[in-house]
Amino acid sequence: MTTHFLSVALLGLTLLLGACTSPTAAPPASPPAAGPAQDTPAAPVPTTGRLLTVGPGKTYATIRAAVAASRDGDTVRVDPGTYTNDFFEVSTRITIESTSGLARLVATVQAPNGKAIITTNTDVTLRGLELTGARVPDRNGAGVRYQGGHLVIEDSYLHGNENGLLAGSAPLGSIRITRSEFARNGLGDPGQTHNLYVGEVGQLTFDRSYSHSAAVGHEFKSRARRTTITNSRLFDLQGTASYSIDVPNGGTLTVTGNVIEQGAQSQNSAILTYGTEGLLREGRTVTIADNVVVNRRASALGLLNPAKVPMTVTNNTLYGLSVSQFLNGTSGTVSGNVVTTTAPVLDTSHPFMR
C-alpha cells in the first residue's frame, strides 16, 4: 500500500440519481447479508475519546492503522491527501473525518476483504471522505459496505465504484446521509450495481444530498422499513440510470422538497417505484410532496405503484410529463400537482461543505 499526499482538487461537475435493472435484465441481486452487529442495539458510546491523527508527520501514516488502534469514542482525523489502497474494516464506534476538504481514498486493486474500501460493523460517522475505484471479484464492491449499527455519512463523495454504498439487512440499524454526493457508480448491464443500495435497515435518511449518473443501475434503491429523501437532487443527466428512486418492498416512504430528473437515456420509463417486488415491509404511509420532477425521456411514467397503495401526492411541479402520467393511476390524497412548460435549471454543484 502506498500513500500519496496531494492536494485534492475536485472538479465542479456533478450529476444525480439512478436505478436498477433494465426491463430485460435479470432480477436484481439481493443485498448482502449483514455482519454480526446487525440486530444488536448500540451500546452507549463514551462522550470523550482520543484523537488519532493521520497524515505526514502525524501519529499514523494510514487510516487503516489508526482504525486498528481505535477504541469506542475515538476520532480518527485525517489530513487531506490521497490514500491509495487504504482498505479497512471498522468494528469500534468512532468518527473518521478529514481535517479540511476531502481526504481521498483511492482503490487501484481489489478490496482484500472482497467487500469495500470501508466496511462498517457498528456505529460509525464518516465525514469529509472521497471514495473511488472499489472493485471486488464478485462485481459487487462498494465505496462503503454497511453491515450493521448506525452509520452517518456527511460531506462525502462516493464515485466511480461498483456501488457507492451497499448496505445489508439490519432491521434495528440506521443510515443517515447528509450533504454527500454519489456519482457514476455501477458497472452497467445488467444493472445490478447502483449509486446506493440499502437492504432492510430500520431507517434510511438521504438529506441535502446528490445522486446522479448511475451506470444503468438505480440512482437510489432502498429496502428499508422507513425511507426519507428530503431536499436532495437525483439526476440522470446524460447517464443511463434506470429508476431515480426504487423502493421495491414498500414501507414508510417520504419524498419531499427534491429535484428529480429522468434523463433521455434512462433504461426504464418509470421515475419512482414502490412495492414492485412485493409489499414486504410494514407501514404503507407514502408522502410525495413539494418536489420538482423533470422528464426528458420520450415516454415516461412518474409513479410505478402496482399494488395501487393510496398515497399523499401533493404540490409537485412537473416538466415533460402530465399529471396523469405522473400519477399513473395512484389515488389517495392527490392535489396541487401542476405542469410547467419552463424547463427547470438543474443545480449540479457539489453538496459537500468542506
Q: Tell me the domain boundaries of the chain.
A: 3-339
Let me know: does 96 contact 127? Beta carbons within 8 Å: yes
**Tens-digit pLDDT profile for residues 136-172:** 999 999 999 999 999 999 999 999 999 999 999 999 9
**Tens-digit pLDDT profile for residues 221-241:** 999 999 999 999 999 999 999
Contacts of 162 (CB under 8 A, 6+ apart): 134, 135, 136, 139, 140, 141, 142, 185, 186, 187, 193
Please state which CATH class domain 3-339 belongs to: mainly beta
pLDDT grade for 48, boundaries at 50, 70 and 90? confident
Question: What pLDDT was estimated at residue 205?
Answer: 98
Question: What pLDDT was estimated at residue 354?
Answer: 87
Fill in the amino acid letter for 330: T
Interatomic CA distance for residues 129 and 156, integer angstroms: 5
**Tens-digit pLDDT profile for residues 57-102:** 999 999 999 999 999 999 999 999 999 999 999 999 999 999 999 9
pTM: 0.88
Let me know: does 86 contact 65? Beta carbons within 8 Å: no
324 sits in which H/E element:
helix 323-327
Interatomic CA distance for residues 307 and 259, integer angstroms: 25
Mean pLDDT in the chain? 90
pLDDT grade for 3, boundaries at 50, 70 and 90? very low
Let me know: does 151 contact 174? Beta carbons within 8 Å: yes
